[in-house]
Structure 1
């Protein structure tokens, strides 16, 4: 067991998986499959599971399905891992309702995305997060992903939000390492990389870890990068990180959403996944074969 770095807050651990939502062959919520996948991911080294996020197909699952998923995973993993529930929406009242339901279902924390589509100004984004934080007893991880929401949580806004006692973390998909480094230096917010290519760079400037789609398939390999860094072996950490890049590229940078590629690879590995819900479409056989090849090469290289 490596010795963790001191100073960096980690309210939800280091290695978090943005878990897919398994469905049955007919497209219904597969709670048995979700339990099995959650148990597998925790056994493979995940400190936490983030449910009902982008990878979890939150736009196409009902409120009832979201709550049932949180409850089932909480029951499965017990206290072995943190369970975070995605509760973001474009509607503040709806977000608060989802937060209350997730809290009652046993979540440890909430992933709250910036309100999307309406493109509110910064003062309204700030007010949205504060309303949710005030309405729930759970800690919040803010989700900054402007490519999907159309809005940034700007650095000055983040610095102000850090003053709320229940706003404790950020899932960072903003691709602004300077802004993230500034907030890390000036606050106690725990920054989690939400883009796998930034897992190690963000960690090196004081980040807390990652929330990863690729971790559905390769949690142990992604965690090993952080373990090596914590053990005082940055060169080894960099090497291990490089080994993950072909799979990261195949899953996250080949033109398909990460949900689609994660489910295709999990299915090929015999793990619960099931189909994606429309408007997403499943990956083709050639894509699935390519993902399986990249995964096999990572396993082979990691075992040398």
Structure 2
């Protein structure tokens, strides 16, 4: 059995063309760089990767390109969440066919306040339709955007019903007690908070499998040193770097910083409905970055 993804996982941005398609050469170059700079894995086509702004066809084209690229796909998770079950099935099958280490599943996110019974039906059909591929499924809990929470009771029911197909959960709620509660459901459930501050707990054999973070696009080297070597200074720097994005639109700000550090403005392009940072937001971001006092920070360039 292939080892499961653990440790420092960057929620990689998706470079886009002027026409709004995935910029596959830039994406593959960036993925290689992030892995070389210390990431244990990557989360492809997550929120930071603007997954839900792409068509299913565009998402599948990127998944297929990654599968052909020679990248270690067993170390990559890919977002397959969709409002339509058929799209989620299609994307999960594509992830499996391309050897990804897991499929990250948002709950179907248009209807709010849905009953757990409805979510169980969704997963029953997803698991059944992908039984031949049997790729591990990771739940993606981001209620601030999806409007639907993977409650502890629901996660427990999913694990009881579908066993090791439910491999873990990524929590972007920022609620560490919630993450701990989910991790306590089963020792086989890999839980990834989204904040680098939890890497210390993961290293010490705590309840978490690592961290899936947007800012690991930029501070992966420090994250890796903090996680693998217990370097407290490196972890402190990684957390300080994360804090410069507070209060700013996260995805456009991450892409602006990637573009700046890579000296490649094309990385800053976003898909509607996201817009590039406004001028005052850019000034604030780069003022904060300059205040870190480490313009030669270990960052992942393109």
Q: Same fold by TM (over 0.5)?
A: yes
Measured against aligned partners, the alpha-carbon deviations of 1:235-262 in whole angstroms (never above 9, x if no partner) come to x43x4332223321222x2221x21111
Task: State how far apart, in whole Å, the 2-side matches of 1:168 and 1:268 are.
Answer: 36
Q: Do residues 135 (structure 1) and 134 (structure 2) align? A: no
Measured against aligned partners, the alpha-carbon deviations of 1:26-62 in whole angstroms (never above 9, x if no partner) come to 5432111011101101111112111111111112212
CA contact (8 A) 2:244 2:285 kept: no
Measured against aligned partners, the alpha-carbon deviations of 1:5-33 in whole angstroms (never above 9, x if no partner) come to xxxxx721211111111113454321110
Task: State how far apart, in whole Å, the 1-side matches of 2:197 and 2:124 are.
Answer: 30
Q: Do residues 260 (structure 1) and 252 (structure 2) align? A: yes
Q: In structure 2, do the counterparts of structure 1 residues 249 and 105 end up closer, same or farther at CA, with 3 Å as the change threshold?
A: same
Q: In structure 2, do the counterparts of structure 1 residues 42 and 301 end up closer, same or farther at CA, with 3 Å as the change threshold?
A: closer
CA contact (8 A) 2:63 2:94 kept: no
CA contact (8 A) 1:247 1:291 kept: no
Q: In structure 2, do the counterparts of structure 1 residues 151 and 94 end up closer, same or farther at CA, with 3 Å as the change threshold?
A: same
Which residue is 1:221 aligned to? 222
The alpha carbon displacement at 1:179 in A equals 3.3
Q: In structure 2, do the counterparts of structure 1 residues 197 and 116 end up closer, same or farther at CA, with 3 Å as the change threshold?
A: farther
**Residue correspondences, number:** 284
Q: In structure 2, do the counterparts of structure 1 residues 66 and 130 end up closer, same or farther at CA, with 3 Å as the change threshold?
A: same
Measured against aligned partners, the alpha-carbon deviations of 1:258-296 in whole angstroms (never above 9, x if no partner) come to 211111011101266240112211123414533652676
Q: In structure 2, do the counterparts of structure 1 residues 161 and 33 end up closer, same or farther at CA, with 3 Å as the change threshold?
A: same
Task: State how far apart, in whole Å, the 1-side matches of 2:143 and 2:97 are.
Answer: 30
Comparing 51-60 and 26-35, the one that deviates more: 26-35
> Superposition pairs for residues 83-232 of structure 1, below 5 Å?
83-119=76-112, 120-136=114-130, 137-163=134-160, 164-187=163-186, 188-201=188-201, 205-229=206-230
CA contact (8 A) 1:46 1:81 kept: no
CA contact (8 A) 1:21 1:52 kept: yes
One of 19, 24, 33 as aligned partner of 1:31: 24
CA contact (8 A) 1:16 1:47 kept: yes
Structure 2 residue matching 1:101: 3-state secondary structure = helix
Q: In structure 2, do the counterparts of structure 1 residues 178 and 72 end up closer, same or farther at CA, with 3 Å as the change threshold?
A: same
Which residue is 1:7 aligned to? none
The alpha carbon displacement at 1:123 in A equals 2.3
Which residue is 1:277 aligned to? 271
Comparing 200-209 and 135-144, the one that deviates more: 200-209
Task: State how far apart, in whole Å, the 2-side matches of 1:171 and 1:301 are.
Answer: 25
* Runs of at least 5 residues in structure 2 that lack an aligned partner in the other structure: none
TM-score, length-scaled by structure 1? 0.83
The alpha carbon displacement at 1:300 in A equals 5.2
Structure 1 residue matching 2:49: 3-state secondary structure = coil
Task: State how far apart, in whole Å, the 2-side matches of 1:193 and 1:265 are.
Answer: 22
